[in-house]
Amino acid sequence: MKKILFSILLVLPAMLGFAQDKQAGPKLYDPNADARADIKKAVQQAAKEHKYVMLQVGGNWCIWCTRFHHTVAANDTLSRLQKDNYVMVYVNYEQKNSKDAIWKELGYPQRFGFPVFVILDEQGKRIHTQSSAYLEEGKGHSPAKIAEFFTQWSPDAVAGKTLKN
């Protein structure tokens, strides 16, 4: 009986760890990614497709980053707005890269907390940084506020094409 109880106590933590890892879902951020190379590639794609680049800065450690992603992915309107207007890049931020020069180049977006969004135009010029705090409502992110953000910073809106006369 003691052997069975001991075996259960050994296996239980491993099972709990596996269950928690399964709940975490896919990893959005690659800690080994080259942010500059990923951004350069996204800018090239955006220029071809007449879109902007949206950087979602955060990390796999950030539950709000994952929640934001799931809110967009689960909503057809938000997914379409994002896909139609932006090339997405998930830029990993953590202690080991917190002193990298890229943060200065991007205007120190981490000062807003996480996730934080940086919009780059077709040439890679930063045109906006958005704190996710303004996209929250209640205990989560507001689909209406996210839609407004995606729409107001789309290439057509910034070019004045969506203004009503």
pLDDT at residue 33 greater than cutoff 80: yes
Q: What's the pTM value of the predicted model, to 2 decimals?
A: 0.84
Mean pLDDT of 114-137: 97
Domains in the chain, ordered, with CATH?
25-158 (3.40.30.10)
Residue with the bigger pLDDT between 125 and 2: it is 125
pLDDT tens, position by position, 59-111: 999 999 999 999 999 999 999 999 999 999 999 999 999 999 999 999 999 99
* pLDDT higher than 90, residue 20: no
Contacts of 87 (CB under 8 A, 6+ apart): 42, 43, 45, 46, 49, 51, 52, 53, 54
pLDDT on residue 3 = 53
pLDDT given at position 14: 46
Confidence (pLDDT) at 165: 75
State the helix-helix crossing angle for 143-152 and 63-73, rounded to 10 degrees. 80
Q: What is the pLDDT of residue 164?
A: 85
Question: Does 124 have pLDDT greater than 70?
Answer: yes
Low-confidence winner among 24-28, 50-54, 72-76 (lowest mean pLDDT): 24-28
SS3 content of the chain, % helix, strand, coil (to 5): 55, 20, 30
Q: Is the predicted pLDDT of residue 4 greater than 60, yes or no?
A: no
Residue 9: pLDDT above 90?
Answer: no
Does the pLDDT of residue 6 top 50, yes or no? no
